Copies of this chain bind each other. A is one copy, B any other.
Amino acid sequence: MKFHPEEAFSVVTSRIRFHRRTPPGSAPGTLVSVPDAPPPVIRVTGFDSEALEEDVVASAAEALAWRERHSTIWISVEGVGDADTVRELGEGLGLHRLALEDVVHVHQRAKLEPYADHIYVVCQMPEAGGQIETQQLSLFVGPDFVVSFQERPTASFEPIRDRLRAGRGRIRSSGPDYLAYALLDAVVDHYFPVLESLGERLETLEERVVLQPDREVMRGIHEVKRDLLLLRRAVWPLRDALGALYRDPLEVVSAETRPFLRDCHDHAFQILDLLETYREVASGLMDVYLSSLGNRTNEIMKVLTMFAAIFIPLTFIAGVYGMNFDPAESAWNMPEIGWRFGYPFALAVMALVAGGMLLYFRRKGWLGGR
């Protein structure tokens, strides 16, 4: 397998950078539209334990009108590039200016912010399909509404819509807090496939680091480590927010929903736990990789040394008998070359030297199985 430097670029970039939209020193609560952003899709669902109505509406105003007709409504906005929609919804429902700013400025740390009559929860939600990419989910939960903002359409909440439509379970009969729980639980649950795929990558690397410790393995380990970092950065504050959600005395969270939130908090904990384990395994793999390299260097060195140590003396012997001392001048000058068995004798000496070397290396354990 070949290493493609040109791919390296595309893989490593653009995940750890940070961008902010408003210039430093702007007034707080400034909402700026993204130029050329697609118009947001506003999907409203009104329901109580009896009935359910759902539709895509054209404007924030229209969505707000549903509030009259249903005991609980869920306004789901896909696309946060249009500042007007966010502002209108915020004003219509009395949402706090600073929270609305966070909706528009994606890349927030997950957090829970309690306001007088509603709470604001923001977190990063993994894209469906085991990818590390996340998008921001902002939730406002009030006495009779849930407003969710997400950056892009996602299939992650379809099962919840299905449960709403089916009218099964608590989801229809409980209030907006349970719906918010269901959404957050889906977010947490979507981290599991991501973890599974990371676990698989780690296993593949664990095999390869022993059998074939090449440069790709090193890059693989580095990338897994960075992905784990990114995930941890997303999940750690999410766990804290969920913890606050079930422990803090918030008015919009009913006592019946709290055990479910605790369960969800447990799942987030479990994810973090696995992330930590994976991180330590990945760090251990880097050590194994480094020592595999050292091993390999040793093996190459052994091959070199054996060749050198066997042939250099032989070449020397051959060199000696290649000297031009003149046996004719003196009986002391290389008498061997006039011997009857001079040549076989020289070859025999060479064979002996070579054999001795081989024996020496066998003793040192450089030959054989290892």
Contact = CB atoms under 8 A, between A and B. Distances in A.
Interface string A161-180: 00100001111000000000
A17 interface: yes
Given A12-B207, A189-B24, A332-B344, A260 B98 contact: yes
B318 A207 contact: no
Contacts of A278: 16
A13 B210 CA distance: 13
A230 interface: yes
A5 B208 CA distance: 10
Contact of A25 (B14, B160, B300): B160
Interface in A305-333: 305, 307-309, 311-316, 318-326, 329-330, 332-333
B109 A269 contact: yes
B159 A26 contact: yes
A111 interface: yes
A263 interface: yes
A363 interface: no
Contacts of A69: none
How many copies of this chain?
5
Contacts of A262: 113
A109 to B, nearest CB: 5
A294 to B, nearest CB: 4
A64 interface: no
Nearest to A26: B159
A209 to B, nearest CB: 9
Contacts of A185: 25, 28
Interface in A258-290: 259-260, 262-263, 266, 269-270, 273-274, 277-278, 280-281, 284-290
A116 B281 CA distance: 40
Interface size class of A (residues with CB under 8 A): 35 or more
A346 B323 contact: yes
For the complex, would chain A's binding face be called helix, strand, loop or mixed by DSSP majority? helix
Contacts of A329: 337-340, 342
A343 B361 CA distance: 32
A225 interface: yes
Contact of A322 (B24, B192, B263, B319): B319
Nearest to A108: B270
A158 B24 CA distance: 10
A149 B25 CA distance: 18
13 contacts: A12-B207, A17-B200, A28-B185, A218-B288, A286-B287, A287-B290, A290-B294, A307-B308, A307-B312, A311-B316, A314-B319, A319-B319, A329-B337
Closest 7 CB pairs of A and B: A25-B159, A318-B319, A24-B189, A321-B323, A293-B294, A304-B305, A322-B322
Interface of A: 1-3, 5, 8-9, 12-14, 16-20, 23-28, 96, 98, 108-109, 111, 113, 156-160, 163, 168-171, 182, 185-186, 189-190, 192-193, 195-196, 199-200, 202-203, 206-207, 210-211, 214-215, 218-219, 222, 225-226, 229-230, 233, 237, 259-260, 262-263, 266, 269-270, 273-274, 277-278, 280-281, 284-298, 300-305, 307-309, 311-316, 318-326, 329-330, 332-334, 336-344, 346-347, 369-370
